[in-house]
Chain A
Amino acid sequence: MSFPWARQYEPQNGFMKWMDEKLPLPRFVYNAVGAGYPVPRNLNYMWNFGVLAGFFLMLQIVTGIILAMHYAANAEVAFGTTEHIMRDVNWGWLMRYAHANGASFFFIVIYLHIFRGFYFSSYKAPREMIWLLGVVIFLLMMATAFMGYVLPWGQMSFWGAKVITGLFGAIPLVGEPLQVWLLGGFAPDNAALNRFFSLHYLLPFVIVAVVILHIWALHIPGSSNPTGVEVKQESDTVPFHPYYTAKDGFGLGVVLIAYFAMVFFLPNYLGHPDNYIEANPLSTPAHIVPEWYFWPFYAILRAFTADFFFIPAKLMGVLAMFAAILVWFFLPWLDKSPVRSGHYRPTFKKFFWFGLIPAMAVLFWCGGAPAEEPYVMLSQIATAYYFLHFLVILPIVSSVEKTKPLPNSITEAVLGSDN
């Protein structure tokens, strides 16, 4: 499980020795994120985002628990209690803005973390399990974020809940009863609001549990690195602490500056004005959009505007939206290239930078735009590329591509000689 040169935990005093015998928690931490975990010495800043995601998860849990102390999940008063938090609770405005923008920053760092994985093929053996757990975390995050957005019970909350549960209505035969069951009614109301609140409180702790598994799975092969060459010798690694704790500390500082600039100066920039209007089941906002982090998938959903043979357009959109994330589960087996890092895969690299990244950018942009031309046609082209990239291009390119020679070791890549 561990490299033979990993440093061994040694209790510094009698108390720590006693603790180590009864409950070796300090030893566990030492081996997990301390000096006992050897990490490739060549990680770049893209490797900061895992720790940052962990930070934002904790931030969301802390601010969320605080908000729950003041919020009431009842359709009559939910909007009012949110305003009570904003106006009367001591520092309540800060807690709410920190939580709302914290969700956005959580997704920003997670997207960067995932795209790091795409480019450096972090999903490949022996790290498939880390990747699969990561996709599970992402799905749980999406569910949690969606339900959290319903809680203030503004217009976007209400209509978002209606539209998203409506997706399940597209499933043949069971769709409609399933939607009614999900909502506990025929439209979002108290029953839906209460269960969303309950699950919104529960799921983050499920995420914490899966994150622990994710990190556990990570410690078996150890971290990947920008060359994609596995660790061979002690000179390839440095201890996590203090080397990467220092680097992550600096990265955290930079991200917090951006985060607090949003919280204090543009707290509603990533939100939507309609959510400051109390939910009204009789009036739909002119332009329903989910939060920005759902836009690519929302664009894929809306790209399917025509029935395809016997499959209705609505069902096709729902299938494609779920498939867009589910394909990530299969990446370890679709990408058979023996080389991991995009640096050494010239063809893959071109498709990544000139195909996937622009397609994602278009999907992000069109998902937030109204459902009219040219956005629909642009998102259709981007959606086509998205599926081609993962399901067609990646399997073919990975088996025919001529890759560049790899360094013999991380040390060689860093120092120029393998000693």
Chain B
Amino acid sequence: MIRLISILVGLGFTAAVLWAFGNGAYTAVTEGMGERTAEKAFHLHPHAPEGGYSFEGPFGKWDKQQLQRGYQVYKEVCAACHSLKFVAIRDLEQLGYSEAEVKAEAASFQVPGIDPNTGEATTRPGLPTDNFPSPYPNKIAAAAANNNAIPPDLSLMAKARHNGTHYIYSLLTGYADPAVYKNEAGETLAEAFPATMPGTGLHFNPYFANLNLAMAPPLNSDGQVTYAEGNPEPTVHQMAEDVSAFLTWTAEPTMVKRKQTGWPVLGFLLFASILAFLAYKNIWAGVKPKKAG
């Protein structure tokens, strides 16, 4: 009896899903399998800069000089619009700055405070214990100042996108003129998808998910940031590479420590597993049969 019911129920579910399949197949045959969209035709996957990054791979380490340069790019370019609210200024010490330098760096930011005498909201110079302050007092102010597109917080950007480090680098260096830029099929956006051409206040960038983003190219000329002596030329590519390295650090300051902890743990486990295997074989030695025929 239960099997009869089960067969009926089973056939019911099967019929329902095959009915849905039939509907889908009919649509696919009559209308084709999905439209070719501008995103599909033009969107590019992020790529690494030449030579990659020092922190990539299982043995990767931070290049502190590079992180310091990246911090400089963040501070002088990105910080005008983007917050870094989950990162504490004190953590800059991990980039190789001294305690006094971090204190001076902190004091160069104005953070929200309270006037001790009147209790009114005011600003005060930052302390190392503060997090990086937001450039806008609140979301509405951020939206109002940016044509309704709120600049996202950058603390975790490198983890909040697929292949985030490369995404940041590719996005920063990937702006193009949609009238000139050709995709793999040799088309320009202007001829292939005129409806998708960026409107006012939008900028074409094939690395951005829907191709047009509100942020104007932030790094637009070589030497926009002046690096200290002994550093590479601040070309747009170099600055993009450095700031994406810095934002990888802000997204996960413990990354290198994590990998360095991983090796001894795995080494130990391998050793312990071999011992466990030998002990297992040992204990079963008397019992484990020779398979007879």
Residues in A lying within 8 Å of B, measured CB to CB:
41, 80, 83, 86-88, 93-94, 97, 238, 242-243, 246-247, 249-250, 252-254, 256-257, 260-261, 263-265, 267-268, 273-274, 276-278, 286, 303-306, 308, 311, 313, 316, 320, 323, 327, 330, 333-334, 336, 372-374, 376-377, 380-381, 383-384, 387-388, 390-392, 395-396, 399, 414-417
Q: Are B14 and A249 in contact (CB under 8 A)?
A: no
Tell me if B7 is interfacial: C-beta within 8 Å of chain A. Answer: yes
The 10 closest A-B pairs by CB, nearest first: A391-B10, A264-B262, A253-B273, A416-B292, A380-B21, A276-B160, A395-B3, A308-B16, A387-B13, A306-B20
Q: Is the CB of B13 within 8 A of A249?
A: no
A388–B155 alpha-carbon span in the complex (Å): 49
Smallest CB-CB separation from A275: which chain B residue?
B160
Chain B nearest CB: distance from A234 CB in Å? 12
B288 CB to closest chain A CB (Å) equals: 9
Query: Is B33 touching A374 in the complex (CB atoms < 8 A)?
Result: yes
> Is B49's CB within 8 Å of the partner chain A?
no
Contact-residue bracket for chain B: 35 or more
- Known contacts A243-B287, A276-B156, A387-B10, A308 near B19 by CB under 8 Å: yes
B160 touches A257 (CB 8 A): no
A-B contact pairs, 23 of them (CB 8 A): A87-B91, A88-B88, A93-B258, A250-B277, A253-B273, A254-B273, A260-B262, A264-B265, A265-B262, A276-B160, A277-B160, A304-B17, A305-B20, A320-B16, A336-B3, A373-B28, A380-B24, A383-B13, A387-B17, A395-B3, A414-B289, A415-B292, A416-B293
Contact assessment for A273 and B160 in the assembled complex, using a CB-CB cutoff below 8 Å:
yes
B63 at the A interface (CB under 8 A):
no
| Number of A-B residue pairs having CB atoms within 8 Å of each other in the complex | 178
Residues B258 and A94 in contact, CB atoms below 8 Å apart: yes
Question: How far, in angstroms, from A265 to B162 measured CA to CA in the complex?
Answer: 16
Which stretch from B113-121, B215-223, B278-286 is at the chain A interface? Answer: B278-286
CA gap between A308 and B284 in the complex, in Å: 58
Instruction: Tell me the smallest distance from the CB of B162 to a CB of chain A, in Å.
Output: 6
Whole-angstrom CA separation of A127 from B15 in the bound complex:
33
Minimum Cβ distance to chain A for residue B245 (Å): 18
Please indicate the chain B residues that have their CB under 8 angstroms from the CB of A94 in the complex: 258, 261
Look across to chain B and name the residue whose beta carbon is closest to the beta carbon of A154.
B160
How far apart are the CA atoms of A392 and B8 in the complex, in Å?
8
* Least CB separation from A395: chain B residue: B3
Question: Which residues of chain B have C-beta atoms less than 8 A from A395's C-beta?
Answer: 3, 6-7
CB atoms of B273 and A388 under 8 A apart = no
Chain B residues positioned under 8 Å from A320 (CB to CB): 13, 16-17
A286–B272 alpha-carbon span in the complex (Å): 45
In the assembled complex, B270 has its CB within 8 A of some CB on chain A: yes
- The B247-292 residues at the A interface (CB cut-off 8 A) are 251-254, 258-259, 261-263, 265-266, 269-270, 272-273, 276-277, 279-280, 282-284, 287, 289, 291-292
- Give the one of B17, B28, B259 with max A CB within 10 A: B17
Q: Is there contact, CB below 8 Å, between A257 and B273?
A: yes
Query: Are A86 and B58 in contact (CB-based, < 8 A)?
Result: no
What B residues does A249 contact at CB under 8 A? 276, 279-280
- B16 A304 Cβ-Cβ under 8 A: yes
Is B108 an interface residue when CB atoms closer than 8 A count as contact?
A: no
- Interface residue from A238, A260, A306 paired with B269 (Cβ < 8 Å): A260
Q: Is B159 an interface residue (CB 8 A)?
A: yes
Closest beta carbon of chain A to B5's beta carbon, Å: 9
Contacts of A278 in B (CB 8 A): 153
A273 touching B159 in the complex, CB below 8 Å, given contacts A87-B86, A94-B261, A380-B24 = yes
- In the assembled complex, which residues on chain A have CB atoms less than 8 Å from the CB atom of B289? 414-415
The chain A residue sitting closest to B22, CB to CB, is: A306
Measured in the bound complex, the distance between the Cα atoms of B23 and A286 in whole Å is 25
Please give the distance in Å from B161's CB to the nearest CB on chain A.
5
C-alpha spacing A260/B152, complex, angstroms = 33
Look across to chain B and name the residue whose beta carbon is closest to the beta carbon of A316. B16
